Amino acid sequence: METAFEKIASTLKGKPAKYSRFMRFNKHKMQPNDKRRNVCTRCNRAEAHISIHGLNYCRECFREIAEDIGFRKYGKEA
Ligand SMILES: [Zn+2]
């Protein structure tokens, strides 16, 4: 899919002055966004990632498996 950046860049190809100016101020958009966000190793959710202690789970998977991997709740005992 063509991004807005590529679209504008292609329309400015015939206008060298505007093209160079556009590239000067939008250079960072050319770089590929290969840095993938941390995702849960269990369900691939990218939000609410828990990476502490090398867990790499999301909050929901952590809730489900926390007791199996040795965490326990403090405070109110159910
Ligand atoms: Zn998960």
Q: How far is the CA of 70 from the centre of ligand 1 (A)?
A: 17
Question: How far is Cα 27 from Cα 11, in angstroms, rounded to an integer?
Answer: 16
**How much is the pLDDT for 34?**
62
Name the percent of the chain lying above pLDDT 90.
17
Same domain, 23 and 41: no
| Boundaries of domain holding 51 | 36-68
Same domain, 1 and 29: yes
Question: How far is Cα 27 from Cα 44, in angstroms, rounded to an integer?
Answer: 31
**What's the pLDDT tens digit per position in 21-41?**
998 888 777 776 666 678 888
Q: How far is the CA of 44 from the centre of ligand 1 (A)?
A: 6
This prediction has a pTM of: 0.48
Q: How far is the CA of 72 from the centre of ligand 1 (A)?
A: 19
pLDDT of 65 over the 80 cut: yes
Same domain, 20 and 44: no
Specify the CATH number for the domain of residue 58.
4.10.830.10
Residues whose CB is less than 8 angstroms from the CB of residue 18 and which lie 6 or more positions away in sequence, other chains included: 12
Q: Does residue 40 belong to any structural domain of this protein?
A: yes
More confident residue, 37 or 48: 48
Spatial CA neighbour of 45 closest among 31, 59, 26, 25: 59
pLDDT, average across residues 64-72: 88
Q: How far is the CA of 56 from the centre of ligand 1 (A)?
A: 9
Q: How far is the CA of 67 from the centre of ligand 1 (A)?
A: 15
Spatial CA neighbour of 2 closest among 25, 22, 29, 26: 29
Count structural domains, the chain: 2
